Amino acid sequence: MAPRILLARHGQTEWSLLGRHTGRTDIPLLDEGRRGAKLLGERLHRAPWSGLADLEIRTSPLARARETCDLAGFGERAREWDTLMEWDYGAYEGLTPVQIQELRPGWLLWRDAVPEGESLAQVSARADEVVEWARSAERDVLVFAHGHILRSIAARWLGEDLSFGARIRLDPTSLSVLGWAYGAPALERWNDTGHLE
Class of domain 5-196: alpha beta
Distance (Å, rounded) from C-alpha 156 to C-alpha 130?
9
Q: What is the pTM of this model?
A: 0.96
For the chain, which residues make up each domain, given as ranges? 5-196
Cα 99 to Cα 22, 83, 103: the distances in Å are: 14, 28, 7
- CB neighbours of 66 closer than 8 A, spacing ≥ 6? 59, 60, 75, 78, 80, 144
| Parts of the chain with a pLDDT under 50 | none
Pairing state of beta strands 5-9 and 175-181?
Answer: antiparallel
Amino acid at 30: L
Residues with active-site annotation: 10, 86
Check residue 1 and give its pLDDT.
Answer: 55
Check residue 50 and give its pLDDT.
Answer: 81
Residue 30 in contact with residue 17, Cβ under 8 Å? yes
Residue 47 in contact with residue 126, Cβ under 8 Å? no
Residue 161 in contact with residue 155, Cβ under 8 Å? yes
What's the pLDDT tens digit per position in 55-97?
A: 899 999 999 999 999 999 999 999 999 999 999 999 999 999 9
Check residue 2 and give its pLDDT.
Answer: 74
Amino acid at 14: E
Residue 42 in contact with residue 111, Cβ under 8 Å? no
Residue 184 in contact with residue 27, Cβ under 8 Å? no
Check residue 63 and give its pLDDT.
Answer: 97
